[in-house]
Amino acid sequence: MKYMLIMRATDEAFEKMAGVDFDEMLETVGRYNDELIRAGVLVAAEGLADAAEGVVVDYSSEPPVITDGPYGETKELFGGFYILNVASKEEAVEWAKRSPVTGAGFKTEVRRVTTIDEFPQNNEWVQKERAWREATGQL
């Protein structure tokens, strides 16, 4: 089963991280990533650029409203993610508990990634996506 570990932090926690030596952070996160790789569970891992570079497309109205970051009402920002292929939610949680980025204001959300097999297989769009996944080596 695949699980996504969604790395979240408050604005204050991100500000505190700005004071951490970048090489030290690379070393700390690199060791964790290496553990995931050696365990054979890492599928993907990416950090995200500063929220100030992003936008939000809000579909609450027509036409949608586009808001540049940073976002006024946001209490937590999504800063990056890992996708792990593990046997259970409990195993994903254990990996999340080992994250090196911890402290007040930091959280990791653990969510199962659904598979195409969970959708109606007689649906035209599911069939097209399945064919694309097979053609690109994703299935």
Give residue 53's pLDDT.
86
Instruction: Give CA 125 to chain center in angstroms.
Output: 25
Q: What is the CATH number of domain 2-113?
A: 3.30.70.1060
Residue spans per domain, the chain: 2-113
Closest to 3 in 3D by CA, of 74, 93, 65, 125 = 93
Q: What is the pTM of this model?
A: 0.84
Pair 113, 6: CB distance under 8 Å: no
Please write the tens of the pLDDT for every residue from 44-94.
999 988 878 888 888 999 999 888 876 655 677 788 999 999 999 999 999
Q: How far apart are CA 93 and CA 78, in angstroms?
A: 18
Q: How far apart are CA 16 and CA 104, in angstroms?
A: 10
